[in-house]
Structure 1
């Protein structure tokens, strides 16, 4: 039916069926591209994003960054127009989607996955996973806050108001405009939000003189409450829009030094909302908020700089403001404006030069992140999350699959995670809420294992290290691949790429195993040991498993040496353990220390940078740190002592094992000799002593001499 209609949505879904092979449709990437293109030409955002992602990644087409940029820029303009069509300050951003694997502590579980180690363990999804594992739920959290709010501890009233305002327990760092996380989603209620904010505000501006907070000695947090109340009146959220009331509350908030109050007053003076337009006052308020590190205020200052008469100075200043806002939590406007600046630069350059300098890739990464965040008209991720919470797992899976085609890494990870559950050589089906039965999988996808591998690969291509390790696992175990595909070589390559990030303990251990057993790589005891050592350094909790692996490795190396192996055995008292900073064959050297911040979460930006890393010199900053930063800081704070203690403990353990092994061999030989002597004594007593035994009994007998048997009389 869709083949004979010009309906863009129908053509897009037909393209999706050909691309995915769902419901028995034969996969045909050429047809998928054709129908995606038909839909994109008609301006369907989902199709434009899909083509942008395919041209950037080279899926079914030749990789072409400039064509990807064209498609993403088209969607970005529509998303931004949608944003500014909302109330003052722009539309509220949709909740940030969540990886299902994060709720399980990561693909490999809590602590073993990169997703739940280092500074990444502080993310809301991991915090929620820990809370749920401990038997807590969000209702308990709300009851706790309610208990204290009822006793006039109004810092809790403000927290309750914020939760009901954004509709989530977890807010995104960067200010109110940065949105909230879907992982802590609750029922949004502007009425309840207004109630709690008003309680906190009246505690300060009521008829009585405010009392000092008994805990902190400070005034109740009325400034924050007033800022929210002013925002709600300014935007008409839960109340009738009233600029007079908005200005009153925002002025009160600003007088108490609240940054959100400064910022919203700046918007009122800039746009003339209930007050005469006054650019000077607007800039002053934005400056005050920016000095208090509010990302949204920095974006406003960037806009002023971009529209100044002096473009020679204006553009660098605007870029500086946008870059700061991007790095401190603004997930939408900063990406949009920076993306356009880089897109303009990419088009002014020679196409080959734009690819070499990475300008095009950075522009695409900014715009891709922006359009995925501003998904009001194509919220496939939100629909999938809602279906999952309703228990409609198949519907959620298909929605995530479509979003994965649009380029959402989280969706790709979710599809792979769900299809991968229970897939192993043992055939055992894991029991969890994420598990589909084999029949359900087969009803959805023709080859679930292959589809899972494809999505792991796409997720890994967007800088998800755990997904990259998982790709190696699929090749190693032969899941979704054939036996003739050089499985072990590809597995080792995936593990090596993951190890290059210096963030995955699992990748280091797997590489150690591959080198120990000579699978996909040449067998090498010393490289195996180095990777095992790096595993324990990356994740201290892996110290004991690594120690067992090292003991086995030492014994194997010595046994191979004793049995004529060509490799030199491992020395018991060798050099110090290799540090991650030392580098290994295939490992990139560690970068300079930086403190982890909100920009560490921006995978898309890092993706573009990593794709051009070998060609770039110093054109752009890196917006992602891996877990090595926290580990290196830990070593600087005394981690070196712990490393030395670990070396000593390992050496002592191996030495004790060698002594025990040697003692066991000696005792075994001694028992064998005693048994042989008893048997010989019994034979002599029966007159059955072998000639060799007599010769051994007479060491002076010449070789070949056999004593005569005794004469019987």
Structure 2
């Protein structure tokens, strides 16, 4: 029953709003529209009046004083509503239900909304969006405007940011924002202003300026030359993909390398081991099971089905896992306790890192194996406790070495690392190796550090593989470079940012291999995108989206999309897509909020669906086909639609794409009308996703009727031809493999295992959590293989014995024939191993030799 009410709350709301509309519908009062702030009385705001007598002292100090005073009015307005505050998610499963109920209550007590609540994209009736400002906001804005008349760059920038983002509750006005950014750029060449101008020309967002890729590239170039990282990343992406300019891989690498150098320097600026953070980039569509909903989307079907999840239960898996682990931990399950520590240490979406809680759980695990004096617990009936205790010791050593949740203490770090090494923990070996390499409370010893790194790397521990690769790369010899590259490639499988950086450097400069511009650009791009806290606005976008501010979320996601983030591009397209809402509430309903004009841009949606699709997003490719098929954001183009569906269906990941191809073949839309091919694609859609059974079955029923009628009337369309299914001929090796194939039991479900490894900066080494299950499966498999091998050997041995026996009998018979009959006796022919048919002994042999 968990999640019952959250899933049904939207339908309850629909029922309640219908009742409300029937009883309380009233026309909106047009007289309630606000007036221009500049007409807020004939007298200026009080704060501005206080400085009217100081006009004789105009100058830099005067304008800066106005800015400082303005901020004293504005900063209190931002508290509790900061777009830069950390994103927090409720841990209660009824959050969604409470949200919808709150929306219902708030809407039932207010009159109908004005005709247009979207972002103002017109500089109408004053620079403040035609709305009356009052109180501290009016005072602060008036002071900033006064300071801006003296060309104070701080005041101009603040006004531009306020009108673009709506900071300090200021009404958004993209036209005013563009004017302010242009004013600042022309005055000082400010790189941030140039970046924002380039962004607005690139997207044409809000209609403030028309889209102009050439001007966008120009202003981004100005910003990039001044060292603006986001513009550098944007230009690199445009050169890499030929957006607004011709493709130029070398230019792309130049700009990507500039950003990657900053990213890796930022990563290394932390304590030993580099920075750790929770990734903020994720797909909004996945919260609803994908672009097409649960099961119909490639992101939640087939091999990706375990990752699917409904929007109303977005945190249900996390809550369930934590609750279960906490229960088992309370019963003394050290594995559950360790898992809780690791989850809190790594953090993830919906759960911030909690070093205090992590340390508590890790201490609890080591306490079940070591006493306070360092001696081991005398008796324990807990298998694998040593391995988990050593793993926990490795985490504790890392926390003390890096000062995570505790003060930096190299003595304690060394203590815990040495304990962990006794059990072969890879994290402890890597941590101890870093201490020897850097000389932290121990004498520097590169050889010992290398030995420790190698021991951890052999356990597939990514950070140790990087550290060992760096040591080999420093040697400079060709063979060492090859070894280093192999280690970096191994670590890159786990998303290690340093591994990607070194691979990019090797590919870019041709170290130990031929230079590869394309590979270098791809690796540098990955490095840049992994440094999310430094270079992206995903955190702010996620917060705005969680708070229901779709406009602000769109702007922030669009920033990341222009930088080349695929998830940012998919999120922008999803927000702009008019068909992504499963439950469309009537615009007459008081609970439905009118869609902002900023979100009405199908042309831009198609642009970002296309860019996301080019970065291997299958659902975006299918959506791109839908837009061409229905003429959304472009003229209808059936051939392009078919090409998109075909590309999305190549690897049989999208049942929706296969189904669409079947429909196009059935109806002859964009493809040749062919009922047989249509059936084939329908069948493949069902094979790709079992959940497509109902729509595919209905479509096949209709298709068979049409095909039968076409056959009876001798139509020109190729009808369905029924072909016998070929029988599968299994080889001996295939038969053995299928016989031995077995689904292994899991200690916990997919969601929990995914939570344990997600965002793990030390990911790569086996922690032994499933060794007991895996060992049982391996032993059983070896026993079966050994028995099968023994059987094969016995059969082979028997055949060889029979062959030798026949050969001996043949040789003896030849000798007797040459020697002639002895003693007047005739030589008897060889009867072989078994009596032949016709032999008097044959019947007795068939009967089993009864009587002998």
TM-score (norm 1): 0.71
CA contact (8 A) 1:93 1:374 kept: no
Q: Of residues 513, 530, 551 in structure 2, which corresponds to 1:373?
A: 530
Given the superposition, is the C-alpha separation of residues 39 and 436 from structure 1 closer, same or farther in structure 2, using an over 3 Å criterion? farther
Structure 1 residue 157: deviation in Å? 2.6
Cα deviation, 1:558-600, whole Å, max 9, x if unaligned, reads 32233342234223x3254999xxxxxxxxxxxxxxxxx9xxx
Aligned to 2:483: 317
Aligned to 1:275, what secondary structure does the other structure show?
coil
Q: Deviations 1:385-429 (Å, cap 9, x if unpaired)?
A: 2332344332222110110000000011111112114479x9955
Q: Find the partner of 1:6 among 171, 189, 192.
A: 189
1:380 Cα deviation from its structure 2 partner: 1.0
Once the 2 structures are TM-superposed, how far is the Cα of residue 436 of structure 1 from its aligned partner? 9.3
Aligned residue in 2 for 1:76: 260
- Alignment check: 8 A CA contact 2:507 2:517 kept: yes
Question: Which residue of 468, 482, 493 corresponds with 1:301?
Answer: 468
Are the equivalent residues in 1 in contact too, given 2:396–2:416 (CA < 8 A)?
yes
**Mapping for residues 74-113 of structure 1, pairs under 5 Å:** 74-113=258-297
Name the structure 2 match of 1:703: none
Q: Deviations over 1:475-522 (max 9, x none)?
A: 11222223xx4x222211111111223321111111111111110122
What SS does the aligned partner of 1:112 have?
coil
TM-superposed CA distance for 1:466, in Å, is: 0.8
Matched residue, 2:552: 395
How much has 1:213 moved relative to structure 2? 6.4
Q: Structure 1 residues 427, 275: closer, same or farther in 2, change over 3 A?
A: closer
Are 2:289 and 1:136 equivalent residues in the alignment? no
Which whole-Å CA distance do the structure 2 matches of 1:456 and 1:79 have between them? 28
How is 1:70-219 mapped onto 2 (pairs within 5 angstroms)? 70-123=254-307, 126=308, 129=309, 133=313, 136=316, 138-168=318-348, 182=349, 185-207=350-372, 210=377, 216=383, 218-219=385-386
Aligned residue among 4, 20, 30 for 2:203: 20
Q: CA deviation at 1:525?
A: 2.0
Cα separation, 2, equivalents of 1:266 and 1:121: 40
8 Å CA contact 2:299, 2:619 repeated in 1: yes
- In structure 2, relative to structure 1, the CA distance for the partners of 1:220 and 1:325 (3 Å cut) is closer
What corresponds to 1:55 in structure 2? 239
Partners of 2:289 and 2:311 within 8 A in 1: no
1:200-279 equivalences under 5 Å are 200-207=365-372, 210=377, 216=383, 218-219=385-386, 221-279=388-446
Q: Does 1:567 align with 2:717?
A: yes
Residues 159 and 560 (structure 1), Cα distance of their counterparts in 2 relative to 1, 3 Å cut: same
How does 1:341-420 map onto structure 2 within 5 Å?
341-345=506-510, 359-420=516-577
Distance in 2, matches of 1:218 and 1:229, equals 16
Whole-angstrom CA distance in 2 between matches of 1:560 and 1:503 = 32
Q: Which residue of 2 aligns with 1:642?
A: none
**Which ranges of structure 2 fall in alignment gaps of 5 or more residues?**
1-182, 729-749, 755-852
Task: Say yes or no: does 1:476 pair with 2:629.
Answer: yes
Cα displacement string for residues 228-266 of structure 1 (whole angstroms, at most 9, x for unaligned residues): 110011011121111111000011011122111111111
**What residue in structure 2 maps to residue 463 of structure 1?**
616
Which 10-residue stretch deviates more, 24-33 or 71-80? 24-33
Change beyond 3 A, Cα 1:238–1:315: same
Determine if contact 1:530/1:577 at 8 Å carries over to the other structure: no
* Structure 1 counterpart of 2:671: 521
Q: 1:214 to 1:543 in 2, by over 3 A?
A: farther
**Deviation for aligned residue 1:137:** 5.8
TM-score (norm 2): 0.60
CA distance in structure 1 between the aligned counterparts of 2:295 and 2:380, rounded to whole angstroms: 39
Instruction: Evaluate the alpha carbon distance shift between residue 566 and residue 140 of structure 1 in structure 2; reply closer, same or farther with a 3 A threshold.
Output: closer
Work out whether 1:439 is the aligned partner of 2:589.
Answer: no
Question: Kindly tell me: are residues 409 and 242 of structure 1, through their superposed partners in 2, closer, same or farther at Cα, counting changes over 3 Å?
Answer: same
In the TM superposition, 1:563-602 aligns within 5 A as 563-571=713-721, 573-576=722-725
Between 1:157-166 and 1:240-249, the stretch displaced more is 157-166
Structure 1: stretches of 5+ with no match in the other structure: 169-181, 580-596, 602-713
Indicate the RMSD between aligned Cα atoms, in angstroms: 3.0
Contact in 1 for aligned 2:198/2:216 (Cα 8 Å): yes
What is the Cα deviation at residue 302 of structure 1?
1.2
| 8 Å CA contact retained: 1:105, 1:111 | yes
Q: Distance in 2 between matches of 1:105 and 1:165?
A: 28
Pair 1:469–1:537, CA change in 2 (3 A):
same
Separation in 2, partners of 1:577, 1:45: 59
Residues 1:430 and 1:340: Cα distance change in structure 2 (over 3 Å): farther
Distance 2:578 2:363 in 1: 48
**2-structure distance, mates of 1:568, 1:302:** 60
Once residues 205 and 398 of structure 2 are traced to their aligned partners in structure 1, the CA distance between those partners, rounded to angstroms, is: 46
- 1:611 maps to none
Q: Which runs of 4+ in 1 moved over 6 A?
A: 346-349
1:66-120 residue CA offsets vs partner (Å, 9 max, x unmatched): 2111111111111111111110011114425211111211112222221123333
SS at match of 2:606: helix
- CA shift for structure 1 position 158: 2.2
Q: Tell me if structure 1 keeps the 8 A contact 2:391–2:420.
A: yes
Pairing 1:690-701 to 2, within 5 Å after superposition: none
Instruction: Give how far 1:548 is off.
Output: 3.0
- Deviation per CA, 1:363-403: give whole Å up to 9, x if none: 21111111101133223112212332344332222110110
